[in-house]
Amino acid sequence: MNTPSKPIRLDRYLASVTDYSRSDAKKLIKSGDIAVDGRAVTDPSQLIPATADVTLMGASLRAIGPRYLMLNKPQGYVCAARDRRHSTVLDLMDEDNPERLHVAGRLDIDTTGLVLLTDDGNWSHAITSPQRKCWKTYYVETAEPIAERCIEHFARGVFLKDDKARTLPAELSIIDDCRARLKICEGRYHQVKRMFGAEGNAVTRLHREAIGEISLDSSLAEGEYRALSADEIASVGH
């Protein structure tokens, strides 16, 4: 079950969903033009619950509440709020205040597939924390044939260069000589590429198909996104 977002100050909320500055929002609130659940509010510091209906001179503003989105990430985009050299996944989002969103489980710039974005920190943590064992499924193509021994090695955990501990047990299913699916429950730096590198092979294509029980929607073209369904959101425990 999803944990509701924490209450937020009215002036902060107003500034986040309109073009008003924080100081202008305070003046507007004090003028009596803002109502919360049908009642005028003149105190800028009043906390608003997640279920509040906020109106400005009778017009409803975007309801407070966390967002849960899936994106089909193309190559060439980084999973960051901003980057000096590259476009970011937020550049693909047509959302109010996209800077408040963050990626729950990043992908490398040249890796494609499922990216989840949210402004719910608890939900995101349930995905990214290795202790929660939220499995991520990747489709992998390699430069050389994949040795059968990799199945056992990945299940036991492998040592990656500069890491002091083995990777957590992973599930490798070989499709054919140079194609496989890999399920991991952690997210170390370039982990999938480094795991195959530790076995003397190189990853030539990497595509994330699923996170937990949430699979990439096949109807989404690269660069497209949609809101998660209630069942998809609920599949990730807080």
Catalytically active residues, by annotation:
108
Q: Tokens standing for 198?
A: 């530790």
| DSSP label of 108 | -
Residue type, 29: I
Nearest C-alpha neighbor of 130 from the set 91, 169, 175, 83:
169
Written as one string, the DSSP assignment of 104-145 is SS---TT-EEEEEEES-HHHHHHHH-GGG---EEEEEEESSP
How many CB atoms are located within 10 Å of the residue 92 CB? 20
| DSSP label of 81 | S
| Contact indicator for 96, 78 with CB cutoff of 8 Å | no
Q: Half-sphere exposure of residue 125, counting CA atoms within 13 Å on the CB side?
A: 6
| Cα 12 → chain centroid | 24
